[in-house]
Chain A
């Protein structure tokens, strides 16, 4: 799977929006962009994913650049419970990626939310 680059850490204030960036300049046409997060002492949990168009769900929004070389996870109003490590992952669902759908995690971005 193609590699992603994320800042090591970010800080936000409670009830403010948070924009978490991810660069994936080597993304291929069959790579989906997935975001997972991991709260302290828990397993990762799915947040959102997309291919080309921006996506919204109850947890977050995903904004994908037109050239798909970068994306941004948007938390509209951060809460203390959003403090976690956020992982941006490219998942090839076609071509040479195979059908195992394993996830390749980087180090992610540690988000700190201040009260």
Chain B
């Protein structure tokens, strides 16, 4: 399967713990996005990478959140000191160069903070 993959698919953690999610984009895609989706809502943009450079961060991305894409390939999203409000589906998408190419989404990581 050459699509976008995300790990883990599900994560249950206790409030105050740190969690890290991984996204492996489609190999030739230089653009990578993270979105967050809560129940009944559409996905909300969190951050965007072009190759290894993080070029935009949403104001939704508090200082407890950090994302990296060290070699311009896979990306990680870490949440420190998790809160119950962080419970959501975290989606990763990738896209090739070009103005109107589609974004390809992964299956998401569902985070539950107890």
**A residues lining the B interface (CB < 8 Å):** 32, 34, 41-46, 49, 85, 87, 91, 93-94, 100-108
Contacts and interface: CB of A to CB of B under 8 A. Distances in A.
Given A43-B4, A46-B104, A105-B44, 14 more contacts: A41-B107, A44-B105, A45-B105, A91-B100, A93-B100, A100-B31, A101-B103, A103-B33, A103-B35, A103-B45, A103-B103, A105-B43, A107-B41, A107-B42
B100 A49 contact: yes
Nearest to B31: A101
A93 B99 contact: yes
Contacts of B31: 100-101
Interface residues of B, number: 26
A99 to B, nearest CB: 8
B45 A43 contact: no
B99 A43 contact: no
- SS of A interface (majority): loop
Given A101-B31, A105-B44, A107-B42, A43 B93 contact: yes
Contacts of B45: 102-104
Contacts of B108: 42-43
